[in-house]
């Protein structure tokens, strides 16, 4: 049995910055409302014609991660692609990325666990590496939200929150059992599936059915979120799954050098920070700049924390996420 360890990180966000002020010009919202409720000041949106797709953003993040890992794309044994906004309904974005990377053939798998997608993918990579089946695994989270949001006042409760971007991590086999991923903990509770969902088009509501109905009031092809139910469940599940990880590894919250939460809402992160008695130096937040980039949010934040020298060799790092499904999870690692 081996451990798995992250040896390269990268991120990419589109150049186009959309501020709260920009949004308040196209819908009934304000910088004050968005800042107070979410902490978000701006996010990145793909601009039509800028060449960005879910897979091409992932490619840009991956190239940086591979270079930092000093690994060639051909040396990857597996691609795990976490996204809720794949390039196509099918096939998944993993195979598109494989082609863009110029790898003739390797396994590529999409992970459909929304905001928890990166934690689920990391946990999956860890299992493949631990058993010795694969040596080098790419885990990438990428989201193209902007094109599918209701950018009118009707959609303001959801559309102000989400942003586009990608983050990537290269994991490899580690023989030192004191380094790398120590444990992962993943959960789901499908009874809440429709509280944060995009219902149509789907196999429950095929496109021809939507076209035939021709109903201008049909909102089923926009994401729906019951914000308060999400919020209430998030704070409980975040706490549970972090505590489970700490207990499993005999760590105290004071042992945590860096906590990188999924960037769902600054108020959720601050609640968790307070609950675990963490200082500002122990928590990394960048939701102010990127909004919620779902599966990409943890790898983008982890990349920035590493680039800023806030994650160093030997540090105890805790990642945790909660999102649509509902799904949630944590990953505890020694850097």
Give the residue with the Cβ less far from ligand ACO, 38 or 56.
38
Using alpha carbons, list the distances in angstroms from residue 105 to 90, 132, 142: 18, 20, 21
Q: H or E segment at 173?
A: strand 165-174
Omega prior to 201 cis, within 30 of 0: yes
Under the criterion CB under 6 A, does residue 294 sit at the interface with ligand ACO?
Answer: yes
In the numeric block, which tokens belong to residue 312?
Answer: 């160093």
Distance CA 28, CA 41 (A): 16
Closest CA to 323 of 157, 38, 114, 141: 114
Under the criterion CB under 6 A, does residue 29 sit at the interface with ligand ACO?
Answer: yes
Residues 148-167 close enough to bind ligand ACO by CB under 6 A: 156-157, 160
Distance CA 270, CA 263 (A): 11
Give the residue with the Cβ less far from ligand ACO, 37 or 205.
37
CB of 301 to ligand ACO, least distance (A): 14
Buried/exposed 265-297: b ≥16 CB within 10 Å, e otherwise: bbbbbebbbeebebeeebbbbbbebbbbbbbbb
Catalytic choice (3, 52, 106, 115): 115
Q: Which of 2, 16, 35, 37 binds ligand ACO (CB under 6 A)?
A: 37
Number of helical H runs and strand E runs in the chain: 11, 13
- For residues 142 and 81, the answer to whether their CB atoms sit within 8 Å is yes
Residues 39-58 close enough to bind ligand ACO by CB under 6 A: none
- For residues 324 and 197, the answer to whether their CB atoms sit within 8 Å is yes
Q: Binding string, 219-238, against ligand ACO, x = CB under 6 A?
A: --------xx-xx--x----
- Catalytic: 292? yes
Q: How many residues bind ligand ACO (CB under 6 A)?
A: 23
Under the criterion CB under 6 A, does residue 272 sit at the interface with ligand ACO?
Answer: no
Under the criterion CB under 6 A, does residue 142 sit at the interface with ligand ACO?
Answer: no
Omega prior to 145 cis, within 30 of 0: no
Distance CA 6, CA 229 (A): 34
Under the criterion CB under 6 A, does residue 144 sit at the interface with ligand ACO?
Answer: no
CB of 198 to ligand ACO, least distance (A): 9
Q: Going by DSSP bridges, is the β-strand pair 316-323/258-261 parallel, antiparallel, or unpaired?
A: parallel
Give the residue with the Cβ less far from ligand ACO, 172 or 286.
286
Give the residue with the Cβ less far from ligand ACO, 172 or 330.
330
Under the criterion CB under 6 A, does residue 245 sit at the interface with ligand ACO?
Answer: no
Residues 76-135 close enough to bind ligand ACO by CB under 6 A: 114-115
DSSP state of 143: E
- Catalytic: 115? yes
CB of 3 to ligand ACO, least distance (A): 29
Catalytic choice (20, 233, 285, 292): 292
Q: Which residues bind ligand ACO (CB under 6 A)?
A: 29, 33-34, 37-38, 114-115, 156-157, 160, 196, 227-228, 230-231, 234, 264-265, 268, 292, 294, 323-324
Residues involved in catalysis: 115, 262, 292
């Amino acid at each position: 049995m081996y451990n798995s360890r992250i040896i390269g990180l990268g991120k990419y966000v589109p150049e186009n910055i959309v501020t709260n002020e920009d949004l308040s010009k196209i819908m009934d919202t304000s910088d004050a409302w968005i800042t107070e409720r979410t902490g978000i000041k701006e996010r990145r949106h793909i601009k039509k014609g800028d060449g960005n797709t879910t897979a091409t953003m992932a490619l840009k993040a991956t190239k940086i991660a591979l270079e930092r890992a000093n690994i060639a794309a051909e040396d990857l044994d597996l691609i795990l692609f976490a996204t809720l906004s794949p390039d196509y309904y099918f096939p998944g974005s993993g195979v598109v990325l494989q082609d863009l990377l110029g790898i003739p053939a390797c396994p590529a798998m999409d992970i459909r666990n929304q905001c928890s997608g990166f934690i689920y993918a990391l946990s999956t990579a860890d299992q493949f590496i631990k058993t010795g089946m694969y040596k080098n695994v790419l885990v990438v989270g990428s989201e193209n939200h902007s094109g599918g949001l209701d950018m009118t006042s009707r959609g303001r409760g959801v559309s102000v929150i989400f942003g586009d971007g990608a983050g990537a991590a290269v994991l490899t086999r580690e023989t030192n059992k004191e380094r790398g991923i120590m444990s992962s903990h993943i959960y789901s509770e499908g009874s809440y599936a429709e509280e944060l969902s995009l219902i149509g088009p789907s196999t429950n509501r095929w496109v021809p059915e939507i076209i035939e109905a021709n109903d201008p009031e049909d909102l089923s092809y926009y994401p729906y979120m019951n914000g308060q139910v999400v919020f209430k469940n998030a704070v409980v599940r975040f706490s549970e799954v972090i505590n489970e990880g700490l207990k499993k590894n005999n760590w105290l919250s004071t042992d945590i050098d860096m906590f990188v939460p999924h960037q769902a809402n600054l108020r959720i992160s601050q609640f968790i920070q307070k609950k675990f008695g963490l200082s500002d130096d122990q928590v990394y937040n960048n939701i102010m700049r990127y909004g919620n980039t779902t599966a990409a949010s943890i790898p983008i934040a982890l990349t920035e924390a590493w680039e800023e020298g806030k994650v160093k060799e030997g540090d105890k790092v805790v990642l945790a996420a909660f999102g649509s499904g509902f799904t949630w999870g944590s990953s505890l690692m020694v850097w």
